[in-house]
A and B are shown apart, each in its own frame.
Chain A
């Protein structure tokens, strides 16, 4: 071989090697982006102001909490590593060290103290205040990595609640000011804020120095797509990877697509028709029980939700702590319903209004109409009021409902105590139905630190509510998500999408 040809061969081999390297390098550097579509854009990325469930889901990727709720429902240490109760109303928390915020500044007790005191403050109260008032009075720093939390009474749910207070950066907040911080948040979470084009997309980049380690995906994009149909089309076209709130009739379509699958989970969200027991005819418990006997819940779930729902005669969803599975729903028995009505003095039935939102909950319109149809069989004639959500909720919160109302209850802490607060505790608002005996049981349950004993109290509570039948008990929703098979992810019952758990399928 001549020198010339050896040189030629060498050059050729080098070029080949370079070409191969360059061809494979882009693959190694390719960014993995996962896109989630939601119904609405957040108002601000400040948990103090925006408490909407979809906004919270986004924010929990940017911020961490002291304690974290896993997908399986367990509570595990996050920014807090250990805790103890030196007194029943005092909690001492050791904080994780070597954690940094997205701007590089260190996470310390000052941030926890600032955050919690801000959330609970009474002057210019924040939207998040109802979720922390009465649970935490104040927080103070014992040293840089130890925090003391002061509670008004012993709180059985304190650890569960800590999983829902995202921790803000005190220094960034002070430097940027409240409004700017809400547009460009700084947290310790696995994804750092990159950009926000309003009503278009929020882009988060995975944070290199996250204390749990780097996330599997590089970039998370959240797109607000208000129309169900369009969200679905985007999933089918491969433009988004996860969408929630799929209509049940779409499920076969998703399952038929080889690139897509459905993830289903029993939701914390419990749906019911409330009755105002302070106004006739619902002031008579026989009438309320009659209404329960007149509604065939399994048939409703089958026909309208395609079976994607869980009939439940308890206000506590089956996905949360405190739920008593031994409660037998009122039997579907229109005959007995008619008898009870006659006994109560309504042999010919009556006319009553039903308020409910239109387009807020899955199949809410269809449900209300179907329930009215079933009630008409026992002589109860329903007049519907189905405005859009904001008008309905104004009416509802003003207490302006004399008949029935269709609504659901979410649960951020996966503990029925939250439901008690929203619906039954007369001192915290509660809806139309309340009783001193029930308030007393609620107080007991809040302070009972033994989980087994707590469950017994909840069983008593649920029995009492079942007997009193202030609601037509309906069902727990099943949350249905459409997911692209290129990613591995399982749905959570608390309606959160935590992107750290997302991995690319091999």
Chain B
């Protein structure tokens, strides 16, 4: 187990180096950021002075290495727009995104797993039909569109929930449902198909022949074996969910990092972009590590 953690931790600096380099290339390739930051009426001399102040007059590689050196010390520079330390700003926006992602994951998981298992058990019956419908609808509805629909229905026509923003529990419901919907569909399908496969296995027939109660057969034998592929997909999608929050955050004006990082890219606020990339990469790596650890805990074959 320590070997897994150890090898994963070694990968972290390599992944971070690669990510920051790639993103840095892209974000600095698209023209002169000073033009965006300065007032449209700024003179050439003013622009030159701004360039010097922000260090854009140095060669690119010097800029990147300087960024890297400071980043290793924890200093991601100051946001061009907000005049706050970039990492402080990013970490300030993060909790809202984590809250939204966690709520979406929770809603999706709590619905999809029982639904998928029930659909597999009662294949061909009404439950299965419902589960399939949910899966198809969920995967074909764009997040943006669904969000707008929910707002029209449950915030304007029936003023049950607030239109947007963050604050109370009520503010969380619509965004979490919107974001979790696609995820829910995916996992439902995954659980259903994996369960169908395991329920067809020989050992299940054996267990039934032994007289094991059906419930135990399904949960203790079939589901446990289905867990590995389910967790794999769950882990992959959870990472996607985190970065997919940007759409839900925009629709519901949810003040999170997804929205803030996109705004930073559009404004070429390089320190914030780099700090966001760094944070997202670390989160992805942590999720991957946790997924790998969970295999270790669930599947005895891996422990050997």
- B163 contacts which of A133, A224, A234, A390 (Cβ < 8 Å)? A234
Residues of B within 8 Å of A123, CB to CB, are 49
Closest Cβ–Cβ distance, residue B202 to chain A (whole Å): 54
A229 touches B148 (CB 8 A): yes
Residues of B within 8 Å of A224, CB to CB, are 253
Residues of B within 8 Å of A236, CB to CB, are 156
Q: Residue B151 at the A interface, CB < 8 A? A: yes
Q: Residue B37 at the A interface, CB < 8 A? A: yes
- Bitwise interface map of B from 11 to 34 toward A, beta carbon under 8 Å scored 1, else 0: 000000000000000000011100
Q: Residue A8 at the B interface, CB < 8 A? A: no
Top 3 closest pairs, chain A to chain B, by CB: A130-B41, A199-B255, A43-B81
Residues of A within 8 Å of B252, CB to CB, are 230
B38 touches A127 (CB 8 A): yes
Taking each of B41, B81, B255, which has the highest tally of chain A beta carbons within 10 Å of its own beta carbon? Answer: B41
Q: Residue B127 at the A interface, CB < 8 A? A: no
B49 touches A125 (CB 8 A): yes
Give bound CA distance, A390 to B267, whole Å. Answer: 7
Within 8 A of B (CB), among A342-400: 388-391, 393-394, 397-398
Q: Residue B235 at the A interface, CB < 8 A? A: no
Q: Residue A453 at the B interface, CB < 8 A? A: no
Give bound CA distance, A128 to B84, whole Å. Answer: 19
Contacts A179-B83, A199-B260, A394-B36 given; indicate if A227 touches B42 (C-beta within 8 A): no
A129 touches B92 (CB 8 A): no
Give bound CA distance, A128 to B6, whole Å. Answer: 52
Residues of B within 8 Å of A227, CB to CB, are 250-251, 253
Q: Residue A223 at the B interface, CB < 8 A? A: yes
Residues of B within 8 Å of A198, CB to CB, are 82, 89, 92-93, 255, 260
Closest Cβ–Cβ distance, residue A59 to chain B (whole Å): 15
- Bitwise interface map of B from 40 to 61 toward A, beta carbon under 8 Å scored 1, else 0: 1111001001100100000000
Contacts A125-B50, A199-B260, A201-B165 given; indicate if A237 touches B159 (C-beta within 8 A): yes
27 A-B pairs (CB sep. < 8 Å): A43-B82, A44-B82, A46-B83, A51-B39, A127-B38, A129-B42, A130-B39, A179-B78, A198-B92, A198-B93, A198-B260, A201-B165, A227-B250, A227-B251, A230-B148, A230-B151, A230-B252, A233-B151, A233-B164, A237-B162, A391-B30, A393-B35, A398-B31, A421-B41, A428-B41, A428-B43, A429-B43
- Determine the residue in chain A with the shortest Cβ distance to B42: A130
Give the interface of B toward A (CB within 8 A).
30-32, 35-43, 46, 49-50, 53, 78, 81-84, 89, 92-93, 148, 151-152, 155-156, 159, 162-166, 250-253, 255-256, 259-260, 266-268
- Determine the residue in chain B with the shortest Cβ distance to A124: B53
A237 touches B163 (CB 8 A): yes
Q: Residue A451 at the B interface, CB < 8 A? A: no
Q: A49-B83, A127-B38, A233-B152 are in contact. List 19 more A-B contacts (CB 8 A).
A: A43-B81, A51-B39, A125-B42, A125-B50, A127-B37, A130-B42, A179-B78, A182-B83, A197-B255, A198-B92, A198-B93, A198-B255, A199-B255, A199-B256, A227-B250, A227-B253, A233-B151, A233-B156, A428-B41
Within 8 A of B (CB), among A412-453: 421-422, 428-429
B84 touches A179 (CB 8 A): yes
Residues of B within 8 Å of A131, CB to CB, are 39, 41
B163 touches A178 (CB 8 A): no
Closest Cβ–Cβ distance, residue A482 to chain B (whole Å): 14
Closest Cβ–Cβ distance, residue A224 to chain B (whole Å): 7
A125 touches B46 (CB 8 A): yes
Residues of A within 8 Å of B260, CB to CB, are 198-199
Give bound CA distance, A183 to B35, whole Å. Answer: 24
B83 touches A397 (CB 8 A): no
Taking each of B30, B43, B78, B163, which has the highest tally of chain A beta carbons within 10 Å of its own beta carbon? Answer: B163
Q: Residue A200 at the B interface, CB < 8 A? A: yes
Give bound CA distance, A279 to B169, whole Å. Answer: 59
Residues of A within 8 Å of B83, CB to CB, are 43-44, 46, 49, 178-179, 182
Within 8 A of B (CB), among A124-154: 124-125, 127-131, 133
Taking each of B42, B92, B152, B165, which has the highest tally of chain A beta carbons within 10 Å of its own beta carbon? Answer: B165
Give the interface of A toward B (CB within 8 A).
43-44, 46, 49, 51, 122-125, 127-131, 133, 178-179, 182-183, 197-201, 223-227, 229-230, 233-234, 236-239, 388-391, 393-394, 397-398, 421-422, 428-429
A225 touches B253 (CB 8 A): yes
Residues of A within 8 Å of B89, CB to CB, are 198
B250 touches A226 (CB 8 A): yes
Closest Cβ–Cβ distance, residue B172 to chain A (whole Å): 14
Closest Cβ–Cβ distance, residue B117 to chain A (whole Å): 37
Residues of A within 8 Å of B253, CB to CB, are 199-200, 223-227, 230
Residues of A within 8 Å of B166, CB to CB, are 200
Closest Cβ–Cβ distance, residue A133 to chain B (whole Å): 8
- Determine the residue in chain B with the shortest Cβ distance to A236: B156
Closest Cβ–Cβ distance, residue A17 to chain B (whole Å): 37
Residues of B within 8 Å of A133, CB to CB, are 43
Closest Cβ–Cβ distance, residue B152 to chain A (whole Å): 7
Contacts A198-B92, A230-B253 given; indicate if A393 touches B40 (C-beta within 8 A): yes
Closest Cβ–Cβ distance, residue A222 to chain B (whole Å): 12
Give bound CA distance, A397 to B47, whole Å. Answer: 11
Closest Cβ–Cβ distance, residue B169 to chain A (whole Å): 16
- A394 contacts which of B32, B41, B92 (Cβ < 8 Å)? B32
- Determine the residue in chain A with the shortest Cβ distance to B265: A390
Closest Cβ–Cβ distance, residue B194 to chain A (whole Å): 38
Residues of A within 8 Å of B266, CB to CB, are 388-390
B268 touches A130 (CB 8 A): no
- Determine the residue in chain A with the shortest Cβ distance to B269: A43
Closest Cβ–Cβ distance, residue A406 to chain B (whole Å): 15
Taking each of B38, B92, B166, B266, which has the highest tally of chain A beta carbons within 10 Å of its own beta carbon? Answer: B38
- B46 contacts which of A129, A239, A390 (Cβ < 8 Å)? A129
- Determine the residue in chain B with the shortest Cβ distance to A418: B41
Give bound CA distance, A388 to B251, whole Å. Answer: 18
Residues of A within 8 Å of B49, CB to CB, are 122-125
Give bound CA distance, A422 to B42, whole Å. Answer: 10
Residues of B within 8 Å of A390, CB to CB, are 36, 266-268
Give bound CA distance, A144 to B245, whole Å. Answer: 54
Give bound CA distance, A128 to B42, whole Å. Answer: 9
Give bound CA distance, A49 to B152, whole Å. Answer: 38
Residues of A within 8 Å of B37, CB to CB, are 127
Give bound CA distance, A128 to B89, whole Å. Answer: 24
Closest Cβ–Cβ distance, residue B21 to chain A (whole Å): 23
Give bound CA distance, A131 to B260, whole Å. Answer: 29
Closest Cβ–Cβ distance, residue B231 to chain A (whole Å): 33
Give bound CA distance, A391 to B29, whole Å. Answer: 12
Residues of B within 8 Å of A226, CB to CB, are 250, 253, 259
Closest Cβ–Cβ distance, residue A354 to chain B (whole Å): 20
Contacts A43-B81, A44-B82, A230-B253 given; indicate if A422 touches B32 (C-beta within 8 A): no
- Determine the residue in chain A with the shortest Cβ distance to B50: A125
Residues of B within 8 Å of A125, CB to CB, are 42, 46, 49-50
Give bound CA distance, A44 to B83, whole Å. Answer: 7
- A233 contacts which of B31, B40, B163 (Cβ < 8 Å)? B163
Closest Cβ–Cβ distance, residue A430 to chain B (whole Å): 10
